[in-house]
Amino acid sequence: MSLARLNFSLVLTTAICPLASIWALGCGEPPDLPASETRTEGESEDEDTGEAETSTSTSEGETGETGETGETGEASCLDASGPWDAGFAIPEPPPLDGDPEAGEWALVHEDYVSCGIPYDLFMLGKGFLGTYADGETLPWREGKAANLPYNWNLVVSEGGTELAALNCLTCHAGKFNGELVIGLGRHDADYTQDIGSLLSLLPPLPPLTDSAVELNKFRARYEALGPYTRTYTVGTNPADDVAIVLAAHRNPYTLAWSDEQLIQVNPPLVPTDPPPWWRVKKKAGHFYNGMSRGDHRGTMMFASSLCIDSAAQASEMLGYFADINAFLETIEAPEYPWPIDEALAAEGQELFECNCAGCHGTYDDDPEAETFPNLLIPLAIVDTDPLLAETALDGEVASMIDWYNESWYGTVTQLTATEPFLGYTAPPLDGIWATAPFLHNGSVPTLELVLNSSARPTFWRREDYESTNYDTSALGWPWIALDVGQSGAPVDEAKHIYDTTILGHGGGGHRFGDHFSDAERSAVLEYLKTL
């Protein structure tokens, strides 16, 4: 059985784009911005804004090249002005020649995270590793690999020791409606306790054997990460902070590891919500701020570079990461598994195309008929929590970007988080209904609340973490509003509370659905079930 077939009928998390509060109505006029902020790199005023651009009105009754008109010749809603007019179309990446089947195999077998826990010790101690080792197996893997949780690969060290090593599915596989979905960001992971502390529960081994050396290496890497990567809330992900700390401990040119920080960092926790992999085929800029542009293999490899110790080791991985990228591009969003009111969805489609499509694209049964503009939207317009974007200016994220661009990884992919402006990307909405919680930091539990900012709670928690407990009306996880945040809660309950007053956890912004009536909002939600 392939990973693609495990993709059952579900989807992953990431906000219905950060888009702004400056326009209460998506079709409002944008603020004046420098002309360069609404064009792709190197584009003149007369050039197109990219292959997947959406049309905008250039003047009353006049439409852009790709504008659609009705039978009467009048411009359609797709020609209206809106927040998208202030967006920057991120250039398309170069095509990569990869083998999807080989990439699928590499994802769950290769040693891109090349250190780990000796296999026999892992099987004895995995119960102590909590969220990191509580997943089901992939029984179609062979041999000892079939005994490992889906997010661990069986690899062999240079010294011949069989190791259980983490893989990308630690963050990028989750459950929906009771089934494991490859490519769905995990929404229930508990990173409030770091794995370094958990590993300390495993018996230490004297460094006299290859097994001991490998275990000590794995433990040391996570002890370096641990103090900076503990999240406040179950379900949020510390991936951005992991990248910052990995950069701080490495020589950018040789990639040699140092147990001591080479760049002094003490980053704030930047919570994120892992986006679904089925967006890969459409997105030109990866990450919420669109900072990865071009050949994305560099950032994909860096994200899994926990145990890389040399540029030569990284170079050996470059070929099969083209295959992994090719596999990711084959993953499709699942179909909504419950009944849909088709008449109500048709009403919602009209509202969506007037108010949302300019940023999030158009959708069709024929993929060739779809559009996606790949827009970066200015932070002032999106108005969602600014921490992730603003730390790219002069904070630890800025230091990581500088390190990355100077490093071996920068020879593959360059990062830019400030060109032409700070902002967040508007994602495609395929399978959006299954990707709760929403916004880039997972601060909003349902799509209904994404479209109604005034009703969002300051403090909330999920009813439970059962993937079968899903709200088919509000499209998201059933939740409970609370009167107090984490500081006022018992210690054992605090980690289950999403507290929007904590730095980086704000739940505001993206107010584009606020002008909808309740009936209109319900229609849009019904339409989103069809994507």
pLDDT bucket at 203, cuts 50 / 70 / 90 = low
Question: Tens digits of per-residue pLDDT, 342-367?
Answer: 999 999 999 999 999 999 999 999 99
pLDDT bucket at 531, cuts 50 / 70 / 90 = very high
Per-position DSSP letters for 264-331, written without gaps between them = ---PPP--B-PPPGGGTTT-SEESTT--EES-THHHHHHHT-TT---HHHHHHHHHHHHHHHHHHTT-
pLDDT bucket at 42, cuts 50 / 70 / 90 = very low
Q: How far apart are the first and last CA of the chain?
A: 26
Residue 205: per-residue pLDDT: 73
Neighbours of 173 (CB within 10 A): 27
Neighbours of 528 (CB within 10 A): 25
Among 26-30, 71-75, 524-528, where is mean pLDDT lowest?
Answer: 26-30
Average pLDDT along the chain: 86
Per-position DSSP letters for 20-62, written without gaps between them = -SS-SSTTSPPPP--GGGGS-TT--TTS-S-TTPPP-EEETTE
Tell me the backbone φ, ψ of residue 155, rounded to 5 degrees.
-130, 165
Q: How far apart are CA 44 and CA 105, in angstroms?
A: 44
Tell me the backbone φ, ψ of residue 118, rounded to 5 degrees.
-50, 135
pLDDT bucket at 19, cuts 50 / 70 / 90 = very low
Question: Tens digits of per-residue pLDDT, 425-475?
Answer: 999 999 999 999 999 999 999 999 999 999 999 999 999 999 999 999 999
pLDDT at 156 over 70: yes
Rounded average pLDDT over 224-230: 88
Helix (H) or strand (E) holding 153: strand 152-156
Residue 194: per-residue pLDDT: 77
Q: Which residues contact 354 (CB under 8 A, 6 or more apart)?
A: 26, 27, 77, 78, 80
Helix, strand or coil, per DSSP, at residue 66: coil
Walk across the sheet containing 88-89 and list its strands. Answer: 88-89, 375-378, 423-425
Q: How far apart are CA 356 and CA 82, in angstroms?
A: 9
Residue 76: per-residue pLDDT: 64
Residue 207: per-residue pLDDT: 83
pLDDT at 29 over 50: no
Who has greater pLDDT, 477 or 26? 477
pLDDT at 521 over 70: yes
For the chain, helix (H) and strand (E) counts, in that order, are 16, 16
Cis peptide before 437 (omega within 30 of 0): yes
pLDDT at 404 over 90: yes
pTM, full prediction: 0.85
Structure tokens at 109: 């077998």
pLDDT at 57 over 80: no
pLDDT bucket at 17, cuts 50 / 70 / 90 = very low
